[in-house]
Every structure is written in structure tokens, then in C-alpha cells.
Amino acid sequence: MSPIYQATASAPVNIACIKYWGKRDTKLILPTNSSLSVTLDQDHLRSTTTSRADPSFEKDRLWLNGKEEEIKDGGRMSTCIKEMKRLRKQEVEDKNPAEPKLSSFSVHISSFNNFPTAAGLASSASGFAALVSSLAQLYQLPVSPSTLSLIARQGSGSACRSLYGGFVAWEMGSAVDGSDSLAIEVAPQSHWPDIHALICVVSDDKKGTSSTSGMQRTVETSPLLQHRINHVVPQRMKDISTAILARDFDSFARLTMADSNQFHAVALDTEPPIFYMNDVSRSIISLIVEYNRLSLAAGGGYKAAYTYDAGPNAVIYAPKENIKEIIQLIVSYFPQQKDSFKDNFNLFSADVT
Ligand code: 2P0
């Protein structure tokens, strides 16, 4: 009987504190600024992917949540698979000719997201990270998560940050071939286990402007983006890494909220303008601002930090001890939203991996 070559891996969702928005190379997916995220761990916020290689397969095929999707030549999925086969050949087969020539077989890939679409979370980050992880396992690649992040990045930029748990930076790099645009671990989750994330699903409507096209419009038209890239993000990357290493929640919270605000400001500065937040999103901001103000006025510190991606849903980072109070606050201030959004106004509480 011929051997079976198959592997399964999963990868979690990540939410950025310092946002990626803009590419300097759209094919290699090289960003215009570095970014930093927190990887969320929860059993229901992951993508799980199984890959199988077999000499009888006629072509590479992909199933997403049970439905077959076309793998377009030259597209992101095809690039990731091709790059992983190249690594298999280079790192395993060329070094040890006795190894089976898996790089010459086609692969069948099946991927599932175990989080409901209603969570309003982008699945491309966990999806491409799980794809690359399962192929790395199938191909028995002796490489680091940072090396794999170079390939996941070419599937979706934010995917490169899901190769690590905890606090992860995507260094923009400067090489034209992208060889230094990769993810590094700033600190594992065990360094600061007290940080918790609360996901408030305001709406699960499909967003009007995709991240990929929205960010390129911003690159082409926003003068504010140039200021952000050159004069804001480099210092923020240093400051937030320092805050994480010192477990300094006050600084972490200020930087996270400031960067979410500036990301939405560059979206608004785009021609034509892009709006990702809605009235409920803005009301949640006001609530968190007031919650922090009362704590600061009483001589305490920041209690929570909001951040918003390319959509209206809030992610709130907070020390674990405040999470219960924050959930009570949100539910008591937004009863009408809870009714009008019915099942859509959900709260997920997630640990950091
Ligand atoms: C981020 N976002 O840093 C930022 C914040 C959305 C807002 O990464 O074109 O889906 O596939 O590289 O990774 C969304 O961008 O875009 C994103 P592509 P991606 O998380």
C-alpha cells in the first residue's frame, strides 16, 4: 500500500494594535508600515486546514468550509502553495535525496473556520496561516514560524502575524524581494496572561470596501497616510513593544486607541472617503473613553482599550479583572442595539494565545 501524506494544522485570529494599512508592493504584499497585533486564542476563533499530497492527484484543489474554490493561476493561494513546494524541495528533497518528492505531487487542501461569520472577523489571517502551517507539517519543513510568515504574508498581509501566539510584530522590512518583511514574536502570551480581548459584534454586514482595495486607494490619495508612515508608526512600534515588555497597560491602551483612531482617520482622508465605523461603534468609543476618564479622575489607570479594524465591530483589550464590568456596561448602555441587532450584537470574550 502506498503511504499517505497528510497533515492538519490550525491557526488563530489576530487583532492589530498598530494597524497595517497600505502596500508598497501589491504582488509580494509588502506593507508601507510595520504593525503589531495580539493573537487571540479561543477554540472558536481558529481556522483548521488539512493538506494531502498524492501522486494520483491531477491538480491542486481547495475546499473552504466544504465548498470547492478555484485556485487561480498567479493568485495568492497559488503563490502560497508554489512557495511551500519550493521550500520543500530546497530544505528537504535537495538535501536528502532519499526523501519522497512531495514537491512534485499536487495537493488537496480543505479548510474550515470554526468561528461564525457573525463574529464579523476577517478569516484571511487565520486561513492563510493555517494553510501554510499544514503544508509545513506535511512537508516536514525544518523552518521557523518567521520563515513561514514570509509565505503566509503573500496570502494576506495580516496572516503573517498569526504564525505566533501572544504579541507579534510584522516588521515591514526594506528588501525589494520581501525577504525581511516578516513576523517576529515580541512576547509570548505567558509574558502577560492578564490581557483579555472582548469582541463586540455590532453588525455582521459585509463591509462596503475590502481591505485590499481600500488600503490601495488610501496609498494613492491620502496625504495623512504619508505623515502616519513616516512620522507616527515607527515611534509607536517602539513604544508599544516597550509597553508590552513592561506590562504597562496605561501605555498599551493609549497607543492602541490612538492607532485605531488614526487608521480610521486615514480611511476618512481617502478619496472618496471610506467609513468603517458606524454610530454604535462610535458610541462604544465614547463609553470606553468615559470609563477610563472616571478611573483616571479617581487616581486609577486606564481600564480598557478599544480598537476597530476595517468594519464596525469593536475589540476591547482589558485586564481580565475588568472584563465582567465592561460586559455589564455595554449590555446596559446598548439595550436597544441588542434588540435591533438581535443575534448580531454578540460579545465574545477571548483569551490571548
Ligand atoms: C491589520 N487590517 O493590521 C489591519 C487593520 C485591517 C485594518 O490587515 O490585502 O486582509 O490581504 O494584505 O491582511 C486587513 O488587511 O489585507 C488588515 P491584504 P488584509 O490587521
Q: Which of 165, 189, 213 is the last residue of a domain?
A: 189
Mutate to test the pocket of ligand 1, among 77, 153, 156 (most ligand atoms within 8 A of CB): 156
pLDDT tens-place string over residues 308-318: 999 998 999 99
The DSSP secondary structure of 43-59, one letter per residue, reads TTSEEEEEEEEETT--S
State whether the beta carbon of 157 lies less than 6 angstroms from ligand 1: yes
- Residue 42's pLDDT band (boundaries 50, 70, 90)? low
Q: Which of 189, 214, 232 is the last residue of a domain?
A: 189
Q: What is the pLDDT of residue 351?
A: 57
C-alpha cell at 104: 512534485
pLDDT tens-place string over residues 50-90: 999 999 999 999 999 999 999 999 999 999 999 999 999 99
The tally of domains found in the chain comes to 2
Q: Which of 154, 189, 224 is the last residue of a domain?
A: 189
State whether the beta carbon of 307 lies less than 6 angstroms from ligand 1: no
Do both 245 and 225 map to the same domain? yes
Lay out the sheet containing 46-54: strands in order across: 5-12, 46-54, 106-113, 61-64, 67-69
Q: What is the pLDDT of residue 203?
A: 77
State whether the beta carbon of 158 lies less than 6 angstroms from ligand 1: yes
The DSSP secondary structure of 17-85, one letter per residue, reads EE----EEETTTTEESS-EEEEEEE-TTSEEEEEEEEETT--S-EEEETTEEE---TTSHHHHHHHHHH
pLDDT tens-place string over residues 135-156: 999 999 999 999 999 999 999 9
Whether pLDDT at 341 is above 50: no
Do both 168 and 35 map to the same domain? yes
Whether pLDDT at 337 is above 60: no
Q: What is the pLDDT of residue 116?
A: 64
Do both 49 and 139 map to the same domain? yes
Whether pLDDT at 95 is above 60: yes
Do both 64 and 168 map to the same domain? yes
Q: What is the pLDDT of residue 209?
A: 86
| Domain hosting residue 239, numbered range | 195-352
Distance CA 199, CA 306 (A): 10
Q: What is the pLDDT of residue 215?
A: 97
Mutate to test the pocket of ligand 1, among 309, 313, 315 (most ligand atoms within 8 A of CB): 309
Do both 317 and 203 map to the same domain? yes
What is the rounded average pLDDT of the residues 324-351?
Answer: 66
Do both 226 and 125 map to the same domain? no
- Residue 93's pLDDT band (boundaries 50, 70, 90)? very high
What is the rounded average pLDDT of the residues 188-212?
Answer: 85
Q: What CATH number does the domain containing 123 carry?
A: 3.30.230.10
- Give the SS3 label for residue 254: helix
State whether the beta carbon of 156 lies less than 6 angstroms from ligand 1: yes
Do both 56 and 118 map to the same domain? yes
Q: What is the pLDDT of residue 334?
A: 80
**Residue 3: is the preceding peptide bond cis (ω within 30°)?**
no
Q: What is the pLDDT of residue 344?
A: 39
Whether pLDDT at 284 is above 50: yes
The DSSP secondary structure of 225-243, one letter per residue, reads HHHIIIIIHHHHHHHHHHH
- Residue 233's pLDDT band (boundaries 50, 70, 90)? very high
Do both 327 and 214 map to the same domain? yes
Q: What CATH number does the domain containing 300 carry?
A: 3.30.70.890
Do both 346 and 289 map to the same domain? yes
**Three-point CA angle 232, 238, 244, nearest 5°:** 125
309 CA: nearest ligand 1 atom? 7
Q: What is the pLDDT of residue 169?
A: 98
Percent with pLDDT over 70 in the chain: 91
Do both 255 and 331 map to the same domain? yes
Do both 85 and 218 map to the same domain? no
Contact 318, 326 (CB under 8 A): yes
Q: What is the pLDDT of residue 339?
A: 46
Distance 284 CA to ligand 1 centre (A): 22
Do both 160 and 201 map to the same domain? no
